[in-house]
Amino acid sequence: MSADPVVPIVAGDAAPVDVPTAATAGVGNTSEVGRLRTVLLHRPGDELRRLTPRNNDQLLFDGLPWVDRAQEEHDEFADVLRSRGVEVLLLGDLLRETIAASGAARIQGIAAAVSARRLGAHLAEELAGHLRDLAPADLAHVLTAGMTFDELPETPAAATSSLVRRMHHGPEFAIDPLPNLLFTRDSSFWIGPRFAITSLALPARARETSLTDLIYAHHPRFAGSRRAYESRVAPVEGGDVLLLAPGVVAVGVGERTTPAGAEALARSLFDDGLAHTVLAVPIEQARAFMHLDTVCTMVDTDAVVMYPNIRDTMSAFTLRVDHGEVSVTGARPFVDAAADAMGIAKLRVIDTGLDPVTAEREQWDDGNNTLAVEPGVVVSYNRNVETNRRLADSGIEVLEIEGRELGSGRGGPRCMSCPVARDAS
C-alpha cells in the first residue's frame, strides 16, 4: 500500500508537523469549509418504516417520519449539493456494489448482523447461511432495514426445532434495523487522506460502523485508502469531530464521545501525523446536545455559528504532542483555544442574537447544524428562520432545504453528510 505523501503545515503556536495529503485520487479532507467535492449520504429507505411508537425512542427518533416525504426531502438535499458541483455517493449503492464485489465484505456484514446471543447458535447459523445466498441488493436491504422473525426464511427444521423461533413474536427483530444510517456523519469521517471508522456509543447505532467499515475496506472506489484511528475501546462519534483547520481538530465530549474516546482519537491522530492539536470540548450530556455539531458548526474559514445559550461558557482542553509526550492544558474559552491552534487572530462567532427561547427552539431543530459546501456557503433547514436570517445578514449564503420529516431523527445537514473530499480552505 502506498505511503501518504506529506506536506508540512504550521498552525498557531504549535510545532510544525507533516500532514499527509491524499494518496488516493478523489478522497481527502482537512477542513470543515473547503469546497466540497465528494460527499457520502444515505437516502433513507425501509429502515425508517420499521419505526413504531413502541420502538422510536430506543431507535433514537423523536417521532415517526412520513417515509416517502423524508425521501423526497433527502433527494432535494442531494440535488442542492449536486447543483453546487458536489459528487454525491449514496451509502446504499456503495453497500450493494461492495457486497457484489467482495465475498469477504458479504461475510463481514452478515457476521455483524446475525447475533447468536439473540437467535441461539442453531438459528443464527441457519440465517447466516440463508443470507450468504442472497443477491447483493437483497442482502444490502436486510443489513440496513433489518429482519423480523416473521420474515425469517421458512425451513421445516426451524418450525419444529428452534425454541427461539417458536417463542419470539413475529414482528420482533431478528436483525435490528438501522434508521440512523441517515446520519452518515457519525459512523465514519475523513481526515487528511484517511478514513476513520468511529465507535458509536449507543446499541441502536453500534452496527452502523460494520457497514462503513466494509465499504471503505472493500469498495473499489476506496482501494488504496488507509485507515486512521483503529481504536474501538471507547466511543467516538463523527458528529463530535470538527476539522477546524489543517492539523487542528475539535472533539466534543458529552452524551456520546467520552473523555477516553477523545484521548484515544487524539493520540492516534498525533501518532499518524494527522493533527498537531486536538481540542476536547465538554458539552452537556443531554439529547439536545448529543454531538458537538448540534451546537456549533463552521460556516467560513474563520467563523462558526454557535448556539447562543452556550456561547459564553463553551470551553476546551488543548491536547498537543511534543517529542512524543502528550500534554493537556486548559480548560479555557473554546474560541480562544481554537483561534490560537488555528493560527488566526479571532474565531468569529456569527451573532445570531436570538432570544433564549427562539435560540433553544432552533437549536433543537438543528439550526446550528450547517453543512458548508464552500467557505461562506452552507446548507441549512429552512425552518430555522431566525438563525438563517442572521447568517445571511452576516454575509453567509444559506441554501435552505426542507427538513420536516428528516428532522424527526434529530439531525440536520451536517449530521446527514460525510465529506469524503474537500479542497483545502
Positions that interact with ligand CIR (CB under 6 A): 60, 180, 183, 185-186, 205, 239, 290-291, 293-294, 409-411, 415
Place of cell 483561534: 339
What count of other Cβ atoms lies within 10 Å of the Cβ of residue 15?
Answer: 11
Q: Which residue minimizes CB distance to ligand CIR?
A: 239
Q: Least separation, in Å, of the C-beta of 145 and ligand CIR?
A: 17
Q: Which is nearer to ligand CIR, 12 or 409 (CB)?
A: 409
Q: Which is nearer to ligand CIR, 347 or 406 (CB)?
A: 406
First to last CA, the chain: 28
Q: What is the per-residue burial (b if ≥16 Cβ within 10 Å, else e) of 293-304?
A: bbbbbbbbbbbb
Q: Least separation, in Å, of the C-beta of 176 and ligand CIR?
A: 14
Q: Which is nearer to ligand CIR, 102 or 370 (CB)?
A: 370
Q: Which is nearer to ligand CIR, 97 or 186 (CB)?
A: 186
Pairwise CA distance, residues 301 & 251, whole Å: 18
Q: Least separation, in Å, of the C-beta of 32 and ligand CIR?
A: 13
Phi, psi of 299 (to 5 degrees): -115, -10
Q: Least separation, in Å, of the C-beta of 294 and ligand CIR?
A: 5
Q: Least separation, in Å, of the C-beta of 275 and ligand CIR?
A: 20
258's enclosing H/E stretch is none
Q: Which is nearer to ligand CIR, 20 or 413 (CB)?
A: 413
Q: Which amino acid is at 425?
A: S
How do strand 194-197 and strand 241-245 relate by DSSP bridges?
unpaired
**DSSP structure string for 276-337:** SEEEEEE--SSGGGSSGGGTEEEEETTEEEE-GGGTTT-EEEEEEEETTEEEEEEEEEHHHH
The vertex-408 CA angle with 402 and 413, nearest 5°, equals: 50
Q: Least separation, in Å, of the C-beta of 131 and ligand CIR?
A: 26
From the candidates 48, 319, 371, 415, give the one annotated as an active-site residue: 415
Q: Which is nearer to ligand CIR, 162 or 188 (CB)?
A: 188
Q: Which amino acid is at 403?
A: G
Tell me, yes or no, if 415 is annotated catalytic.
yes
Q: CA 204, 228, 13, 305 torsion: positive or negative? A: negative
Residues serving a catalytic function are 415
